[in-house]
Copies of this chain bind each other. A is one copy, B any other.
Amino acid sequence: MAEVLAATTGSDWRSLDPENTLYVELPAGRVIIELAPAFAPHYVANVKALVRSGYFDGAVMLRSQDNYVVQWGDPNSGDSGKAKSIGNAQKSVAAELDRPLSSEVPFTRLADGDIYAPQAGHSLGFPVASDPKSNRMWLAHCYGMVGAGRGDTIDSGNGGELYVVIGHAPRHLDRNVTLLGRVVQGMELLSTFPRGTGGMGFYTEGIERPVIRGAKIAADVPEAQRTPLEVLRTESPAFQKLIEARRNRPESWFVHKAGKIDLCNVPLPVRVRAAASSTIH
């Protein structure tokens, strides 16, 4: 993997779009989420409206369920007297579970197959599954993917509670709840929260829940305070080489080459932009 990445060129990488990059500031550091407007345009817009209204300032981790998800939001959302204002955001947003396969949005197929869908692959840096028969594709619940918690009805979420996958990919959630992004930095801050002892990993009364200092859209943060991340383009030939190097690991440590790779085991490399290209930019 290191060799493949060392052989990449600048054009194999792209900078995150500040307008679609979410910073969640925890006491231990910054979690960075790339939002996915191509897949969940209305949810992304609503999350941004919530962030810009200060909705996540004072939010807490509500839930940390082992081998599943962490989830955060307003601790008082159930109490109309104390609930945080949602500003200009919507109270609920219709689910965005899939989108058309179309030439407007790339789909790079993974040759290895998928248990849960007719096809799997990548699009714009995200793991996706697809069904050529129905001509739809959708974001897949891999480690680090970010979704919008919802209630019993499919359209009841609004992005005010966000969850992140911290365990083996719960792909049975695909097309049951809206995914809207992926954590590109800071997963280790989310994955190590103590697990909640209530049902579904909710923190129970009386326990101090981990606090969120606040959230910002990167575009609203002075450039000097942004984290200049780049992600490897999943449409690049370099990405295909990377997949092959993971499918059949060349290191001598491996005595048995897997020959295959599962969608959610494909690494999606992220790096801090080198200072040189940063000044050109």
Contact = CB atoms under 8 A, between A and B. Distances in A.
B143 A262 contact: no
Interface size on A, as a range, is: 35 or more
User: How many chain copies does the complex carry?
Assistant: 2
Interface string A88-126: 000000000100000000000000111110000000000
B115 A176 contact: no
A144 B112 CA distance: 25
A173 B30 CA distance: 31
A174 interface: yes
Interface string A235-272: 00000000000100100111110101110110000000
A176 B262 contact: no
A152 B249 CA distance: 14
Main secondary structure of the interface of A (DSSP, over half): loop
Given A67-B143, A170-B265, A171-B258, A194 B195 contact: no
Contact of A192 (B172, B195, B249): B195
A252 B66 CA distance: 23
B171 A265 contact: yes
Contacts of A116: 258, 260, 262
Contacts of A66: 187-188, 191
A175 interface: yes
24 contacts: A66-B191, A67-B143, A67-B191, A114-B115, A115-B115, A115-B261, A115-B262, A142-B168, A143-B168, A167-B167, A170-B265, A171-B265, A172-B246, A172-B249, A172-B254, A172-B265, A174-B258, A175-B256, A176-B253, A176-B254, A176-B256, A188-B195, A191-B191, A192-B193
